[in-house]
């Protein structure tokens, strides 16, 4: 790999790292739960990109396997968060107070 390409990839890694930090800030400061889901998805995508570029810079092919596992985990995290949000919204809209009644019985 040429020196220019190596430096270019290092700069790209730094920029992606800053974008991950910005999305972490968005995750913390997001007002709605859906903002937090989008930030989680963004962090997962940026994390996979970071790992792939790091694998190219280091010349280690086994790191690409780690990026595939990380991509799968990021996808599953977003799916679980969306399912949680959907169930919470459906429970709230249905007016089902069974959970509230169970809490009153425990008191």
pLDDT tens digits, 29-51: 989 988 999 999 999 999 999 99
pLDDT at 44: 92
CA 60 to chain centre: 24
pLDDT at 90: 86
pLDDT at 102: 52
18-30: average pLDDT: 93
| CA distances in angstroms from 21 to 25, 43, 60, 99, listed in the order given | 6, 9, 25, 38
pLDDT at 92: 82
Q: Please state, rounded to an integer, the average pLDDT across all residues of the chain.
A: 87
């Amino acid at each position: 790999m040429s020196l220019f390409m190596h430096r270019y990839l290092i700069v790209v890694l730094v920029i992606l790292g800053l974008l991950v930090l910005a999305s972490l800030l968005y995750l913390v400061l997001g007002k709605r739960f859906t903002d937090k889901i989008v930030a989680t998805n963004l962090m997962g995508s940026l994390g996979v990109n970071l790992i792939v570029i790091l694998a190219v810079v280091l010349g280690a092919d086994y790191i690409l396997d780690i990026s595939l596992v990380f991509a799968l985990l990021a996808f599953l995290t977003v799916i679980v968060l969306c399912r949680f949000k959907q169930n919470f919204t459906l429970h709230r809209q249905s007016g089902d107070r069974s959970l509230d009644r169970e809490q009153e019985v425990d008191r």
